Chain A
């Protein structure tokens, strides 16, 4: 499908974590989506090291912009605007993207939009070729975020229902992988280790699902207790001199994470009378998460939307999509002095000061 000829061509820059993403869209049409990841540089540390990520962004930025333009078969003359992730994310990493975006936009005299990373994950779905149905509940799960959003209007009405109060879900996978002696990133290695394992073998805790948590933490998440519980399990087996049933531990851990995520998301759908759930974030790559989401949504009569994986992980195209939406609405660009906001609230789609 193609957007009207007048749809704005926007280049989006994303550097909130360890992926240098540059994407180009024309309205809701995806033209390029280039990603340079520094993931392998973080492997021996078991998680993203902010300084290493920021250094990698600086070196990857210009080649990634050039590659995205080549992919889209466009030149800088074709751009109508630039969008960049203003937050939330790692401050030092965000600043590389913002510095580059300000340099590029000012040189080209293009309007620059500093936009919200989380809203970008939701906006990614508009690039999948089918119109995004609103309102929707959105569950964003990655190494840095675990957020449940109520999206009534992408450009102006996004409400954070809940988020993790400690580790992000992806972080829980990474840390648990380390406990089990598995490689980084934890998602794929736990998936591999869980093959043949019994997801009901060990009753790991489901964080913030007790009746007493319903009042204050109905849609919040907690995964640090789960990780500690796995650690105890590993240590107990070691102390007893028993072989660790790694497949069972991995499968049971993963089931605990996935069940909490989907149960809370569907509870939010029901409570708000919204029969739509959108998934986003790198943890969507987890096959078991997609499987359980598909089953439970079908059973609950909820329509499930999962954008293509390359649009679920952090990317510049989703940021460009938010920018294109703001341009199309005639919104003013962000002021020249806008800053990186590492804790930017989901309700702030665009930074305006």
Chain B
């Protein structure tokens, strides 16, 4: 229970100062699992497949944790944005793995897993839309927001002229490194859309 009651500040300190390794998981696009020790990436596997996250994740987690279970001090989850069904697999696995390892779980925006530099990052979220964020020095400064796939607004104001990266994959190792640099905690999945559901307007007529 202790990790649940820990404050955000103390978790950040722990993430930054504890000499443990960080396990990071992201399933917002493909499936990405990494283990980072300080600044060093000691394990990294990615599957570009934007489906079958639950299948890929099993083996990747086994290989990531083999011989490292005792040394993991934090689990990081990519919280999206991304296609909902796949996104949830990684978050559920990250939270449960943290529970199993007895360490905290910290969610961060998946767009921090695209670059450690500065860019406008966009990712496909299906339905002819893209999610975009302004990433500065590897941390999300603006967003994520949704936009029509062919009409993502160009970076404005102080971010004008920033390079745009249409990311095809998220690197979980970058998520782990972003946490060490103080990436903002994201506690809930970044769905950006309400669940599809319309209250019924009443029963349809069946008589001719």
| B100 engages A76 (CB within 8 Å) | yes
| B95 engages A103 (CB within 8 Å) | yes
Given contacts A45-B197, A45-B200, A228-B206, is CB(A106)–CB(B65) below 8 Å?
yes
Within B81-109, which residues are at the interface with A (CB < 8 Å)?
Answer: 84-85, 88-102
B54 at the binding interface (Cβ < 8 Å): yes
Interface centre among B58, B84, B102, B195 (most CB of A within 10 A): B58
A190 at the binding interface (Cβ < 8 Å): no
Q: Give Cα A175 to B85, complex, Å.
A: 27
| A178 engages B92 (CB within 8 Å) | no
| B85 engages A95 (CB within 8 Å) | yes
| B101 engages A107 (CB within 8 Å) | yes
Smallest beta-carbon distance A193→chain B, Å? 16
A337: B residues at CB distance < 8 A: 55-56, 58-59
B61 at the binding interface (Cβ < 8 Å): yes
| B197 engages A103 (CB within 8 Å) | no
Interface centre among B1, B27, B85 (most CB of A within 10 A): B85
Q: Give Cα A239 to B206, complex, Å.
A: 13
Given contacts A103-B100, A107-B101, is CB(A92)–CB(B88) below 8 Å?
yes
Within B166-208, which residues are at the interface with A (CB < 8 Å)?
Answer: 188-189, 191, 195-200, 202-203, 205-207
| B55 engages A45 (CB within 8 Å) | no
A109 at the binding interface (Cβ < 8 Å): yes
Q: Give Cα A78 to B198, complex, Å.
A: 45
Within A84-110, which residues are at the interface with B (CB < 8 Å)?
Answer: 91-92, 95-109
| A99 engages B207 (CB within 8 Å) | no
B57 at the binding interface (Cβ < 8 Å): yes
| A58 engages B56 (CB within 8 Å) | no
User: Which chain B residue lies CB-closest to A54?
Assistant: B88
| A100 engages B95 (CB within 8 Å) | yes
A261 at the binding interface (Cβ < 8 Å): no
B62 at the binding interface (Cβ < 8 Å): yes
A340 at the binding interface (Cβ < 8 Å): yes
A331 at the binding interface (Cβ < 8 Å): no
| B58 engages A106 (CB within 8 Å) | yes
B145 at the binding interface (Cβ < 8 Å): no
Q: Give Cα A105 to B101, complex, Å.
A: 10
A106: B residues at CB distance < 8 A: 58, 61-62, 65, 97, 100
16 residue pairs of the A-B complex, CB under 8 angstroms, read A57-B88, A58-B91, A62-B95, A91-B85, A96-B92, A97-B92, A99-B53, A99-B90, A99-B92, A102-B93, A106-B65, A107-B100, A231-B205, A231-B206, A235-B205, A336-B62
**Chain B interface residues toward A at CB < 8 A:** 1, 27, 52-59, 61-62, 65, 69, 84-85, 88-102, 188-189, 191, 195-200, 202-203, 205-207
User: Which 8 A-B pairs have CB atoms at the shortest separation, nearest pair first?
Assistant: A107-B100, A336-B58, A103-B96, A103-B93, A99-B92, A103-B97, A99-B89, A51-B195
